[in-house]
Amino acid sequence: MRYAAFVFLLAALTAPAGAAQSSSSYKTCTAKATTQLALNSCASAEDARVNAQMNALYAKVLLHAGTQEGGVQKVKAAQAAWIAYRNAAIAAAFPASNKQQQYGSMYPMRVNLLYASLTTQHIADLNLLLDSLSGE
C-alpha cells in the first residue's frame, strides 16, 4: 500500500504539471515553440508568472495578518514551511544527482512546470487564508 501511494505521488509530481491549469500565455508560447529550448523558456516564463501572482497574494495576506497579534510571524512561518515542502517535493521528483544527464533536455521544462503547478496549488491555499483573515 505504501508503495502504491508513493507511485501515485511520484506520478502526480512528474506528470506534465500544469497541463490542465496552464495560462493562455503559456499555451500561446508553446504553440509557437519549435525547439526544446523554446519550450523550456515557455515553462520558465509560466513559473515566473505564477510566482509573481503568488508573491502579490502573499503580500495581501501579510497585510491582513498584521491586524492580528502574531499574525505576520505565523504567516511567514507557514510560507517558509511551504517553500521547504516545495523544494523537497521537487527534489523527490527529480532525485538524480546529474539531472541533465538523467532527465535530458526536457528537465528544465518539467521542473519549471512542476514549480508552477505547486505554486498554483499554494495560491489556492493563500486565498483561503486571506478569506479567513479578512473575515469573509
pLDDT for 5 beyond 60: no
| pTM as predicted | 0.81
Mean pLDDT value across residues 85-102: 96
DSSP H or E segment with residue 130? helix 107-134
Q: What is the pLDDT of residue 67?
A: 85
Q: How many domains does the chain divide into?
A: 1
* Containing structural domain, residue 90: 2-134
Query: What confidence tens digit (pLDDT) does each residue in 25-45 have?
Result: 999 999 999 999 999 999 999
Quote the distance between the C-alpha of residue 54 and its chain's center.
Answer: 9
Q: What is the pLDDT of residue 29?
A: 95
DSSP assignment of 60-110 equals: HHHHHHTTSTTHHHHHHHHHHHHHHHHHHHHHHHS--SSHHHHHGGGHHHH
